[in-house]
Amino acid sequence: MTGAFAGFFLCHCARCRKDTGSAYAANLFAPGAMIDWLAGKDGVTTFRLTGTRHQRAFCSACGSALPSATETGAIVVPAGSLDTPVDRRPDAHICFASRAEWDEHLEDAPKLDGLPG
């Protein structure tokens, strides 16, 4: 990818929760960036929800989230998809009022280095 990240947002909207199956989507935004797949381009599947700005790209071989280009000319990169370190902290939680009812004080939950039990 060529271009720089200009935003890093944790989106709690219902669509992003459905997309990720989690409390929020963690996406980096790079306006005006370009992406050039070095390998596996044929396996990139993009789902765009009609009538919304929501889309997600994933690998048709393993299901992993992948970067995608928006209609407005930005590249959206799921932060967890990167193999390289992310050199910035999230800018904000967004659509926070739409969060799941269990998404409150998650930082207080016990932190395990492995699986429970």
CA distances from 35 to 23, 64, 108 (A): 27, 17, 38
3-state secondary structure of 12: coil
Of 11 and 65, nearer to Zn ion (C-beta) is 11
Name the burial class of residue 15, with classes exposed (0-12), middle (13-18) and buried (19+) by CB atoms within 10 angstroms of its CB: middle
Of 15 and 43, nearer to Zn ion (C-beta) is 15
Strand arrangement of the beta sheet that strand 92-94 belongs to:
68-69, 74-78, 25-31, 7-11, 92-94
| Size of the residue set binding Zn ion (CB under 5 A) | 3
Q: Does 76 bind Zn ion (CB under 5 A)?
A: no
Of 31 and 54, nearer to Zn ion (C-beta) is 54
Instruction: Write down the least CB distance from residue 117 to Zn ion, Å.
Output: 33
Range 9-38, binding Zn ion (CB under 5 A): 11, 13, 16
Of 16 and 77, nearer to Zn ion (C-beta) is 16
Q: Is the separation of the CB atoms in 46 and 60 below 8 Å? A: no
Q: Among 55, 70, 45, which Cα is nearest to 15's?
A: 55
Instruction: Write down the least CB distance from residue 67 to Zn ion, Å.
Output: 16
Binding piece for Zn ion, criterion CB under 5 A, among 4-12, 44-52, 56-64, 80-88: 4-12
Binding stretches for Zn ion (CB under 5 A): 11, 13, 16
